[in-house]
Every structure is written in C-alpha cells, then in structure tokens.
Amino acid sequence: MLLPVSTWQDIESWLKTSRTILIPIGSMEQHGPNGFVGTDALCPEIIAHHAEAQAPDEVLVGPTFSVGCAQHHLGFPGTITLRPTTMIAAMTDWTESLMRHGFERIYWLNGHGGNIATIQAAFSEIHSKRSFDPNGADNRPGLELKLRNWWDFSPVMKLCNQLYPVGHGSHATASEVSVTYFGYPDRARPEVEMSPKLAPNGKIGDAVQYRRDFPDGRIGSDPTQSNAEDGQKIVEAAAAAVLDEVKRFAA
Amino acid sequence: MLLPVSTWQDIESWLKTSRTILIPIGSMEQHGPNGFVGTDALCPEIIAHHAEAQAPDEVLVGPTFSVGCAQHHLGFPGTITLRPTTMIAAMTDWTESLMRHGFERIYWLNGHGGNIATIQAAFSEIHSKRSFDPNGADNRPGLELKLRNWWDFSPVMKLCNQLYPVGHGSHATASEVSVTYFGYPDRARPEVEMSPKLAPNGKIGDAVQYRRDFPDGRIGSDPTQSNAEDGQKIVEAAAAAVLDEVKRFAA
Amino acid sequence: MLLPVSTWQDIESWLKTSRTILIPIGSMEQHGPNGFVGTDALCPEIIAHHAEAQAPDEVLVGPTFSVGCAQHHLGFPGTITLRPTTMIAAMTDWTESLMRHGFERIYWLNGHGGNIATIQAAFSEIHSKRSFDPNGADNRPGLELKLRNWWDFSPVMKLCNQLYPVGHGSHATASEVSVTYFGYPDRARPEVEMSPKLAPNGKIGDAVQYRRDFPDGRIGSDPTQSNAEDGQKIVEAAAAAVLDEVKRFAA
Amino acid sequence: MLLPVSTWQDIESWLKTSRTILIPIGSMEQHGPNGFVGTDALCPEIIAHHAEAQAPDEVLVGPTFSVGCAQHHLGFPGTITLRPTTMIAAMTDWTESLMRHGFERIYWLNGHGGNIATIQAAFSEIHSKRSFDPNGADNRPGLELKLRNWWDFSPVMKLCNQLYPVGHGSHATASEVSVTYFGYPDRARPEVEMSPKLAPNGKIGDAVQYRRDFPDGRIGSDPTQSNAEDGQKIVEAAAAAVLDEVKRFAA
Amino acid sequence: MLLPVSTWQDIESWLKTSRTILIPIGSMEQHGPNGFVGTDALCPEIIAHHAEAQAPDEVLVGPTFSVGCAQHHLGFPGTITLRPTTMIAAMTDWTESLMRHGFERIYWLNGHGGNIATIQAAFSEIHSKRSFDPNGADNRPGLELKLRNWWDFSPVMKLCNQLYPVGHGSHATASEVSVTYFGYPDRARPEVEMSPKLAPNGKIGDAVQYRRDFPDGRIGSDPTQSNAEDGQKIVEAAAAAVLDEVKRFAA
Amino acid sequence: MLLPVSTWQDIESWLKTSRTILIPIGSMEQHGPNGFVGTDALCPEIIAHHAEAQAPDEVLVGPTFSVGCAQHHLGFPGTITLRPTTMIAAMTDWTESLMRHGFERIYWLNGHGGNIATIQAAFSEIHSKRSFDPNGADNRPGLELKLRNWWDFSPVMKLCNQLYPVGHGSHATASEVSVTYFGYPDRARPEVEMSPKLAPNGKIGDAVQYRRDFPDGRIGSDPTQSNAEDGQKIVEAAAAAVLDEVKRFAA
C-alpha cells in the first residue's frame, strides 16, 4: 500500500494486521554531469514503489523523506540540505506521528551515504525518550527502527560490481544513475561526456573543499555507463531483497 | 524545469537568467473517506508539474515539501506532521540552501490551510537574519518569499464554486479530491459513500477535539462529487494562474 | 480582575468559577512620526483594561505580552522584536504556566498584524503535545486557544471606517494612534506633520526593504487625523465587543 | 524618555547623544497573601519610571520584561514563568534588537532574585557571539551589559532595614509590597492578616517542594507592615540611586 | 567510590543505601602565566578524589564535568567553552540520567566562578519539568540539586587568606594554582615570573574586552606565591569540609 | 603536550608550528560485571596520554570528552548520557573554541561505537556553517575533522584477535577492559565470574530492550580474560598507531 495515495481508513485497516511501515529516505544533491539532483531520493522511492507494486498487501510505503544531509554538496547549484539537527527533529516528528497511530516498526530505506550517521543519531534521539523514563516506560510498547541502504543487499552489490567492474565509484555512481534512468527514462542523458572518464577519489569535508577536490561532483565513478536496462535489473534485485527483509522485520 | 530530475549544470544554467524557484508545499494528513492522505502535498505538486509541462523554460519547480503542520489530524491513522518549530527549521534550511546558489525569489505553492501561519512565521524567521544585521546586511541581495495557496486564484475559486455549489467544504474539499483523482485516476474511489452527506462545520483545536467533532475527518464537504474530469479543469485553471503569477514574480 | 495587581488567592478564587483568562499581546515597533513605539502593545492593553474596569467580575486580564514579531521594523530605532521561534517558546511557557493552575481557555487579544501567523503557529505547537500523546491524552482536559485582533470586531471596523474614510491605512493607522492618545493623552503629538500626507502602500519583507519602501514607517495611513476623542469611541466599542465575546468564550 | 510612548524619531535623537538604555526586568509570581502577582515586575518599573520622571533627558527606559524565572512558584495560581532557556532566547532577541539601533550599554534593573542567575547566563550567551568570532569581532563595538537589583543600593538597603527591622524577609518582602502599594495605592490590602506573622525560612527547589515548605508563599517576611508611605520613601531612594548609577554607566 | 572506575553493580549496591552523588564541575580556560588551562576542572576533581580516598564508603564521585562557561577567556589560546544554553542541556542530560537510576540528591562541587549563574539556571530548567506538571508530579520523588564552590567553606577561605594575605586575587588565584601544583607536582612552574606582580582588577564582559583589560589573563592575583605544600593544606581543608557537607546533604 | 595541564602560553607556542589537536572522546556507561563505567572514556584517554608521553612535542592532547551517546545503557545504574543533539551542540562549542585560537585540524580519538554516528553528524553540523555561507566562506581556512576509533588500526585489531580469539565481543570487550586494567591496575577485578561465560549477541534499541536482551550488560564478550599485561600491549600498539596517524594528519 502507498500511504500518500491511500485513505486514513486504509491505514486503519492495515494497522489491524501489521505495525510496520517503510519510509524511503534520501537527499537532494548534485550527482555529477548526468545524474539528477534528486537521485538519492528517487532511488529508494523507485525501489520501494516497485516492491509495493509486486506485493501491495505486504508492504506499506510512506512518503519519501526527500531532503537529507548534503552540506558538502552546497557548492553545486540545486543542492538542498537540512542541518543534521533539523533532520533529527524532522525524523523525530515523523516517527512520533507514526507511533501515535500504533506503528511499532519503522524501516527506513536509505539512498544516501551521507545520511547514515544522522539517521542513526536520530534513532538514538528517538529512543532516548523511553530510555530516560524512570517509570511508565514499560507501559508503551518499544519501537524498532531499522536503517537499510538499498545498495547494501549482497545480491544488489554483486550485480552492481558485475555491471560496472570499473567506475562504479562512490558518489554519482553508475548504478544509482541507472536506477533513476529506469525510473525516468525520458530524462536520461546518454549524450553527456565526462573528463576525466573516471572521477578522482578523496575525502569529504565542507562544500568549499568538496567542489575544489571534485570539480564536476563525481567521486570515483564513470556514470557514462549508466542506462535504464541496467537500472531495471538493479531495481528488481533490490525490490526483491527489500520485500524479503521487510517481511522478516515485520514478523 | 523540474529540479529533482535535472542535473546541477541545468540549475547553473537556469541561474544565468533567473533567480526564481517554485516549491510545492503541502501536508500528509487524513482527507476523509475518499481523499488521499497525501492530498495537500499532491495538489500543489500536480499543479506545479502541469504548469512546468506547459512551459518548461518559464518555471523551475523544486522538490515538494510534503509533510507540514497537521497536529490536529493525528487522531486519524496515516497523518504525519512536523511541529511548527521543526517546520520553520526545515524551511530555513531549504531557503538558505537555495540562497547559497543565488536564488533570490522563492515562490511557495501551498496546498494546506493549516500550513499558512507556520509558513509566514518561517518567512519572518528567515528574514530576521538580514534584519538584525547591523552592518553588512546591504552587501547581500534581499530575498523575496511568496506564499500562494493554489485555491486562492480567483478563476480557480470561481470554478470550484461553480462545480460544487453545495458541499465544497473546507477540509477534504470536493475540489482537492478531484485534483488528486486527476493526478492518480487509478486510485479514485467513486464507490465510497458518506454519511452524513455534508460533513459538519466547527472550529479546530487539538487532535482529540478534532476527531470528536469531525468523526470521519471531513469539514463541511461532500467529496462524493469529486471526479478526475473536474480535477483536470481545476488543474488547468490553477496551472495557468501559477505560470502567470510566477512570471510576474520573477520579473 | 487584573492579574498583575491581584494576589494568588484572588486567582485561586477566580478559578473556582472560571477557567478563562485574557492576555493582551502586541509588539514594540515604530509607528511612524506621531505613533508610539509601544502602540501595538498599548492598544490591546488599554482596551482590555477598559473592559475589565466595566466588569471586573467578568474578565480576568493577564500581563501584556508586549514584545512580538517585528523584524521588518528593525530599520527604525526603538523597535524590539522576538524571532518567531522565541515567541513560540515564550507563548508556550506562558500557556503551560496557566494550564498548571487549571486555566483551560486562553483568549489572546492581539494588537499587531505581524503577530497573527506566529500566534497561530504557537497554538499549533502547544496543541501538539496533547495531539501526539498516544495514551494519557484524554486524561487531562483539552485547551482552547483563541486569537482576536481588536480591530476585527465589525462595530469597531465600521467605526474606524466612518472616522477615517481616507487614510486609515494598514500600519501606523489613524485608529490605533487615536487609541493610544486616549490612553496617554499627555503624550499626544498633534503638532507632527507628515509628507506625503498619505503614506505609500506595498509589500513587506525584511527590515532593509521595509525602510527603503516606507521611509517614515507608515503604510497607507494618515495618522495626523488621530485624536484622543476618537480613541475613546474606539476603545469603548472594542471593550464592549471583547467583554461580550469573552463571556461567550468562557461559557 | 519612556520608549514605549515615544516615537522612533525620538529614539533616533536619543542615540545621537547616548548609547544607553535601562530595561526593567521582573517576574509574574505569587507574593503571599497581600502582595501582587506582578510585584517583581512592578517594582523596577515603578522605580525606573519615577527616575525618568525626575530627569527625562538623562535616562531612556525601555519596556518592562515582565515575566521571568519563577518555576518554583508554579504551585500558586497566577504565577507565569519562562523556562531559563526561553528567557535567555528572549533577552538575546531584545539585546540584538537594541544593538541593531546602535545601543552599546544595556542596564537591566531587576526586581526578582530568582532572575539573577538566568540574566547572567544570558549575558554570557550574548557575549559569546563576539567572543567566538575569530576575525571581524573587533569591527563592531563591544557591548556592556549590567545587572542591578533595585534593593542592592546601600541607601535602599539601609532604609529597608530601618523601616522593617523585623520581618523584611526574602520573598514577599515588606519593602517590595510597600513599593507596589505606592504605585497602586487603590489596590493595597491593609486588611489582610497572616499567620504565622513571620513566614518560615528555608531552601528553594521545585514548585511542589516550595508550596509544601512555604504554604502561603512568603519566605521569612511579615508584609502586613507594608504601606504606600514607606513605598514612596523606598522608591525615591532607589530612583535617585538608579539615576546616579545610570549616568556613570553611560559615561 | 569513584563512578568512572566502578562497575554498574557497584553503583547498584551504592543506591541501596544512598541516593546521593557528587559531581565535580569546572572549566577549561586560561589561568595566567603559571596556571594550567584545566585549573578549574582539576581543583574540584582533586578535592573530591581526596575526600573519596579518605572515606570511600561515604561519597560517590561521578565524572568531572570539565568544560564550562568561559566565553570571556576565548582571547587566550587553549580555552574551551560551552555556550550557557549548551551547558544547561548537558547538565540536564547528566541529571536525568542519574534520576533514571534513582539518584535524588546531586551535589555539584564547582571550581569556576563563571559557572555559578549557568549552574543555577540549569537547576531551574531541570526543576521546571516537575514544576510545570499539572498532575503526576507528586508521583515521583523530588530532586535536590546543590551547588558548592570549593573555596566557599569558611575554613578554606580563612586558610587562603592566611596563606596569601596579598595577591590571592579573583582569577588565576594563588590558591587554585597551589591546588593544581599539589595534584600535578611535576608540572609546577616555579620559574615563571610575572609583571606586574599583582594583576589588575576590573569587570568582565566578552573575550575582546577581557584580553584588552587583563593582558596576561590574571585578575588581581599574584600566583608566583603558589606551591604544592600550600596546595596540600587547602585540599585537606576543602576535602574535610566537602565530606562533612555531603554527609549532611545525603541525610 | 597535555592541554589541561599546560598554560595558555604553551598553547600559543604550540600554534606557531602546528594547527592540530587530539581530543579523546568516549562515554560513561555500564561495561558488564568487571568493566568500569568509564571504560570508553578511559581507553582513548589512556592511549592518547601514553602517546603523548612518548612524544610530547608531536601531539597536543586536549581534555577528554567523557560523556557521550549511551541512551541504550540507561537501564544499568551509573550510565550517564547526552542526547545526540546535546552532544552535537557540545562538540560544536568545543570545535568553535579551538577554531577561535587557530586550530584547523581536530583529531577525535574515539572509544565508543555508539558515538560514531553522532560524531559524524556533528562534523556535518559544524561544516554546515562554512558550506552555507554564500560569500565570505573562503576568507577563513577550512577545518579538517577526523574520527578514529582506537580499535580500528590494523595492528591493534590483529593484536586483539590474537589475544582473544574467542570472546572478544562487541560490548564490554576483553580488550577494552584490559586497557583500563593497565591504566588502573589497582582497580582490576580478576575475581569476578560471569555466566554465561560468553555473553549473547543481538541488536540494540532502547534501554528497556537492551537490559532485557543483555542482562549483565555485555554483548558477545568474555572479559574474564582481561588483564593489565594485555592492556599494556594494546595501549602500546594503539599509541604508536595514533602518533603515526596524527603526524600525517597534521602535515
């Protein structure tokens, strides 16, 4: 079920048999010369919606948390970021809203490496409320919060390595660009050329340093290899893995 | 241009001729027995994307700010809200990200009455930085922030009144449900019946009071009248008005 | 009863028969060449105290919340503002203090248009606590928060329009200056001249833009028409309307 | 000059010869059986206004910061408090507003012992901005922030001890009640009796403990001795001392 | 018992007979030419550990809260400070952690005058939670928070005055430097000379002003007199006084 | 050099040749039946001080940030935690203090897995200031922030695996307990027995869940193997690796 296009009665029914929801979470940040600014939000959304289309009764997909932690990309136009403390506050509000309805397991399907730390810090902040409570704490059920990066499933990693033995990279990767081309085939950019073909590697600090060290935005990747057909394979592999894991998480 | 599916170079080019961006802003909250939880986010998004499709060179549409102020709807499953202070922090981060790139005019196309106060408070918070600055303030260009509710254009209001002379209502309105049915025709719910046909009116406080006074979530409306054809008319009228206003705003 | 000059036992007695309190809320900001910096705080205070003097047993008036949202006036010396998030925090603390004593209905009599959004956002923030609470929420009584601008009563509006058919304006209005001249007749400034007689109209952003567009601080008004006699009429009309509405609100 | 009943041009003129302003700061909290809830805000306000009336060209008095730190009095109806962090935020906003206009010396005339710590913490918070700044800091002038409790002047202390050799006390003191009776003679409560005549002494924690240990709200005092004549003497002594100190502070 | 080098079972046992803990709290800030940057944290730590060594069963010493409020010292390299609001948040988290385990009395042994206001503001912030609570508040036991500056015990003050009749001073005092030399004898700096021998006195504002008025960091002191032998005497006197007071506090 | 026992002039001298500082960062939380509550703060402190003792001119060690993110351990007495947002605020204040003096590279030597996410989120929050700045940003030098867990160096890992092929575990590990026994040999607990010998493994949520799933606090470890001799080996290996890395970081 897709929460944003369901009614509240649909969600009420869902809660009779499940306490679990999946939230795609990403970022709005530059992804090099042929990747979309929304790549990191679009990837988990495409995968989650694909999973839901396969098995609408087995997963409830919430709205996409589409702007995350991307301060280091602010040197590139189009990037939008939350400060980590803002993101923690927003994730707390989302979570407490869902807890109000009886959700007890929230599965965050993440599309952005730069979000990982702040998502985990947010989990800790959210758990703090129950952890600090000297009495009543046991009266309400505990909450399970799970973070999963879509590329971390081993069949997905294997597939990506196989598709892009060279130039998969770590930002504006060949695989994530392919996923978005599968989702938005009309907007693919097969014509874009890049030089150097393989982007440099290095460490990440603030936005001034990032733009200086990674002039076109990519890190270690050659996404000119990306295409919608690859994207489809990746999405199918990831969606299957997500469905499987969500079912076990919900159990 | 749609920012999430554009590259950073596209946005860099855009900024050579324009300093303006449109952000759809909505809410994730119950909309009665046949309206989607995402209605208030979907409506401005559908309208903005429709406008962009008409004139891609004349408007840049950013990602949708899809979760807003909906504490009073928390009695209904599926509703997700930000506390107003969280929303102010998030809108500030979005705005300062855009200012970093050189945007000077941000047009927020709003889909939720309950957001209006907090959006305006956020504008005031954002302007405070320049207003408090005793020197340097004039060194950077001023920022223009504009809020527009999609239903406020007079041709749109006139059309809605004409389509739904009775039962347009003020929450889960006949018109907004139609807009989402136009956007998501496969998910329309023509079969849903409501009783009473016309929902009650009243004032809004917290979630306990709201659910008590408005048991199925609607206020004053009869959205069984909603359909995709009406939605199309409304979207076309609103998109035209938006395009026209954004052009004048950007000038 | 006036809370600041009452004892705690007086308030304890009041609470035996009423759960309602009125809080005047305003701003400390420039009001053009002949208006006081405190105008927006003084007007609701003068009206509320006048109402209380008529019927001390029917309304309890709290301290005046005298500094509000006025960032756009910071270009003019004397203006003092709270950031909106500070104002939300302060209003929350005031409200939770009053709830601690058993107050359940708080009527905010407002004197400043620029406060409206933030007051409503504060209401939403305050209600959030009960709205988010998954259990215990119903254990404590709900809270009613009401915002009323003193100029919004129809007899008051009618009177203002009649007194100042031309040049009432929207900031440093003829009517609000008259109200303060009634309250502080010795400080009236009949001698001040203004040019142009009618101040310009326009939109409001930050403090730099405001001072540029409205050089003497007024918007659309000619407050050289103001005088204490008019002020008295307005205060009497507004005080009567307030008393009437508070009684209904408390019921 | 009194800021709230002055125009912005008056303040602009003031700033040509002085960079100093006095802000009365107090609290809204129970003051025993015959003291007003507003006592701690009214005392510094009465004294400051009295000083200003003596020498209007020598002191500029701002609006009264009337609600302070009074969490320990919340067990008594009518008490309104800010949390310390809210008070720090509000004092910061007031101060930065005044700095915007060119004020460089702010003299806080305090009426509440329970405010002292938070006022000093706020000074530290405010100074932090300039202290942390690695460069530009010297470009803007430094700020002087001064806290003065009205009862701390030695002539005032001497007078109070002389008027009330027994039962001056430390909360709901004989002297502060007298000051408010001088300010609001019609509201004096000569008829109120108290038992025990002398309130107990003890330490202060939270509101539950306070109400348990100090059942009528007083600490160590016998304010049945209070009267407007004493109040006048105290106000005159304090106003003279304030005027004198402010002049030296401004130099 | 020293908490950081105890096991959780040790603390569990402690709580069976006592609800009290001592927390040394200090600052990390310049202390003139021969004082350590950590002086204000080291002094209460040395004294508390000395007391514990005398009577390990009578006092539980927690970790040292070693960075406090020192914005005014930021002009001197090595100084590290918290903003007051950060310090309030951190002290709140420490206290709520301890309350979670059943501690009801927290004794803060302070080493820095500049911390006093913020510590007291933090107490007020912490107490606010129970004070605001309209019902349940009485269900959990009250909390006692006590602040004690190590130099405030009268035998300690007497000793310091006797040891340093001239040049004890108020920052980088002869006594505190001696205490740290006793704690870290190998790091003593007998060779350092100062000019002028007696540092100037004056008032404290921000870091720019402080460095200008107190060029080597001292205020009013001549710590060339400091030595480990004096330190030992002071530590013994203070430790005895602390032990005695903690026992009475715990009772 | 050890900052807390150095003078400000020592730090001033240091800054003439280096812009780098090392901060040990840990946690105050239960470490099973024979581990100290302070283990995670003590380990990086012991290692850093050991490194400094080897080469005092090559590394400057700041005060230990000793309380971190440990909400999940609050079910065990003695645990003290910061909420993640408090920790971010405190780390920001420490960092901005150090930047004020000219430090440009901060090396955080971490002793607690549960800190990693929040430390990285704090880095992102700190970098945000420069990243958001549309102009002046380049005027000040960039900041490098590095996180290193002491156990992550490959010689250290290899040694730990070799010393404890079975039962190293992931919380209250055999190695960290050994490190603290080396640092505090008198407080070692060779007599403590545990059952089961090997603690269970599992996932970590809030404090209620943690205590339920890990009844004596350990995860996967058998720290009865710990001893000071092993600790010495580990400390020597880690200190050498730290020194080496810090030198390269500073270059």
Place D222 in a pLDDT band, splitting at 50, 70 and 90.
very high
Chain F residues contacting D via beta carbons under 8 Å: 96-97, 99-100, 102, 139-140
Place B141 in a pLDDT band, splitting at 50, 70 and 90.
confident
> How much is the ipTM here?
0.97
Q: What is the mean pLDDT of residues E140-166?
A: 95
Q: How far is CA D177 from the centre of its chain?
A: 14
Chain A residues contacting E via beta carbons under 8 Å: 131-135
**What residues are paired with C146 via a beta bridge?**
C107
CA angle at E109 for the pair F100 and E169, rounded to the nearest 5°: 65
Euclidean distance between CA atoms E159 and E155, whole angstroms:
6
Neighbours of F124 (CB within 10 A): 30
pLDDT of residue E185: 98
Q: Tell me the angle at which helices C174-183 and C154-163 cross, rounded to the nearest 10 degrees.
A: 100
The DSSP H or E segment spanning C165 is: none
Q: Note the pTM of the prediction, 2 decimals.
A: 0.98
Contact F67, F27 (CB under 8 A): yes
- Taking CA atoms, A139 is separated from A135, C134, F74, in Å, by 9, 11, 17
Question: Mutate which of E6, E9, E216 to test chain F, going by most F C-beta atoms within 10 A?
Answer: E9
How confident is the model over D5-29, as pLDDT tens digits? 999 999 999 999 999 999 999 999 9
How confident is the model over F130-157, as pLDDT tens digits? 999 977 555 567 899 999 999 999 999 9
pLDDT of residue D19: 97
pLDDT of residue E136: 52
Which class for C85: exposed (0-12), middle (13-18), buried (19 or more C-beta within 10 A)?
buried
Chain D contacts of B133, Cβ < 8 Å? 100
Q: What is the mean pLDDT of residues F15-42?
A: 98
How confident is the model over B46-81, as pLDDT tens digits? 999 999 999 999 999 999 999 999 999 999 999 999
- Asked if A66 and B62 come within 8 Å (Cβ–Cβ), the reply is no
Q: Tell me the angle at which helices E228-250 and E39-54 cross, rounded to the nearest 10 degrees.
A: 60
Place D210 in a pLDDT band, splitting at 50, 70 and 90.
very high
Euclidean distance between CA atoms C126 and C114, whole angstroms:
20
Contact A179, A42 (CB under 8 A): yes
pLDDT of residue E137: 56
**Among all residues of chain F, which has the CA nearest to that of E92?**
F82
Q: What's the token pair of residue E141?
A: 């036991």
How confident is the model over E61-111, as pLDDT tens digits? 999 999 999 999 999 999 999 999 999 999 999 999 999 999 999 999 999
pLDDT at D54 over 90: yes
pLDDT of residue E142: 87
Domains detected in chain C? 3-246 (3.40.50.10310)
Average predicted confidence (pLDDT) for chain D: 96
Question: Mutate which of F85, F130, F132, F133 to test chain B, going by most B C-beta atoms within 10 A?
Answer: F132
Tell me the nearest-neighbour CA distance from D12 into chain C, angstroms: 6
- Is D in contact with A (3 or more beta carbon pairs below 8 Å)? no
Least confident piece of the model among B53-62, C138-147, E33-42, E134-143: E134-143
Which residue in B131, B132, B135 is closest to D140 by CB distance? B135
Contact E27, E69 (CB under 8 A): yes
Euclidean distance between CA atoms C56 and C2, whole angstroms:
8
Nearest alpha-carbon partner for B84 in A125, C118, A85: C118
Euclidean distance between CA atoms D127 and D91, whole angstroms:
12
Q: Can you list the residues of chain C whose pLDDT is less than 50?
A: none
pLDDT of residue D138: 53
pLDDT of residue E141: 72
Place E134 in a pLDDT band, splitting at 50, 70 and 90.
confident
Nearest alpha-carbon partner for A164 in A156, A154, A174: A174
Contact D176, D29 (CB under 8 A): no
* DSSP state, residue B2: B
How confident is the model over F80-126, as pLDDT tens digits? 999 999 999 999 999 999 999 999 999 999 999 999 999 999 999 99
pLDDT at D37 over 80: yes
Which class for F139: exposed (0-12), middle (13-18), buried (19 or more C-beta within 10 A)?
exposed
Chain A contacts of E140, Cβ < 8 Å? 134-135
Question: Mutate which of D73, D108, D128, D144 to test chain E, going by most E C-beta atoms within 10 A?
Answer: D128
Tell me the backbone φ, ψ of residue C189, rounded to 5 degrees.
-125, 65
pLDDT at E229 over 90: yes
How confident is the model over F155-212, as pLDDT tens digits? 999 999 999 999 999 999 999 999 999 999 999 999 999 999 999 999 999 999 999 9
Chain D contacts of B132, Cβ < 8 Å? 96-97, 100
pLDDT at B137 over 60: no
Termini Cα distance of chain A:
18
Euclidean distance between CA atoms F28 and F80, whole angstroms:
5
Chain A contacts of F116, Cβ < 8 Å? 117
pLDDT at A142 over 90: no
Euclidean distance between CA atoms C46 and D119, whole angstroms:
30
- Contacting partners of chain D (3+ CB pairs under 8 A): B, C, E, F
- Asked if C140 and E134 come within 8 Å (Cβ–Cβ), the reply is yes
